[in-house]
Amino acid sequence: MKPVIGVMAHLKTDMGPLGHSHTGNTYIESINKVGGIPVMIPTMLNGEEDMEQLIDQLDGFLFTGGIDVCPSFYGAESHRLLGKSDSRLDKLQIPFAQKVIAARKPFLGICRGHQVLNVACGGTLYQDLSEIEGVRLKHFQDAGYGDIAHKVTIEPDTILSRLYEDRQIWVNSFHHQAVKDFGKKIRLAATSSDGVVEAIEIEDYPFGLGLQWHPESMFGVGVESMRPIFEAFVNACR
């Protein structure tokens, strides 16, 4: 049987009084292309029991991109360059991620999802890349979603190092925040040439990977270099 993978919806706040749960079809297509069955998890659930039932019934989880994580969830005051945030999303996704990790279910975190992973494990974020000395690359590209922006260097003995022979791969880039202090059992998996954390993973875990770039935007439109990531994730969910 194909593995069934829960895709965390993003909250669109400008549609109705409660907002709108949605997800981009590149996430859906990326899972479809490698033999998984994607199902969307809405931005509203009825408490912890619903979370636990979903985690028990589904085979893996994909945490998608989106708005900034509220700094209060990692003990910080709001930076003047903080982007749009909404605590309703954080109140769902952070504890959900913690429960997924406790259940040792496979997951992939992309962009915001990569940051949610770190915060869920007790880590912190740079609220804007201007806080990091020496950043020189354009990390929020003004180009197509399938286009590439810069290289990342993969750390040895990581999930990514087992997927790619080359230590450097080309990625796209659509973010203004980044991982700062690593959460518990979070280890570095890749960086950009200017030192920004581009990938993290959980130590001693079946498959727990966070990526700052958007591999689904590349793979969903036919960029095959991102296929190994989705194949490995879906295979881990089987």
Q: Is 71 helix (H, G, I), strand (E, B) or coil?
A: helix
Q: Of 138, 139, 117, nearest to 189 (Cα)? A: 117
79 annotated active-site: no
What's the angle, vertex CA 33, arms to CA 212 and CA 103, rounded to 5? 60
- Give me the catalytic one of 111, 114, 155, 201: 111
Q: Long-range CB contacts (< 8 A, 24+ apart) of 94-100?
A: 94/69, 94/119, 94/120, 95/48, 95/51, 95/120, 96/8, 96/41, 96/45, 96/51, 96/55, 97/63, 99/48, 99/51, 99/52, 99/55, 100/55, 100/61
Q: Of 8, 1, 55, 5, nearest to 232 (Cα)? A: 5
- Give me the catalytic one of 155, 198, 201, 216: 216
216 annotated active-site: yes
Tell me the CA distances in angstroms from 137 to 26, 106, 236, one per residue in order.
Answer: 25, 31, 33
- Give me the catalytic one of 150, 155, 214, 237: 214
Write the Ramachandran bin of 185: left for phi over 0, alpha for psi from -120 to 50, otherwise beta. left
Q: Measured between alpha carbons, how far is 8 from 45 in angstroms, rounded to an integer?
A: 11
Q: Is 39 helix (H, G, I), strand (E, B) or coil?
A: strand
121 annotated active-site: no
Active-site residue list:
111, 214, 216
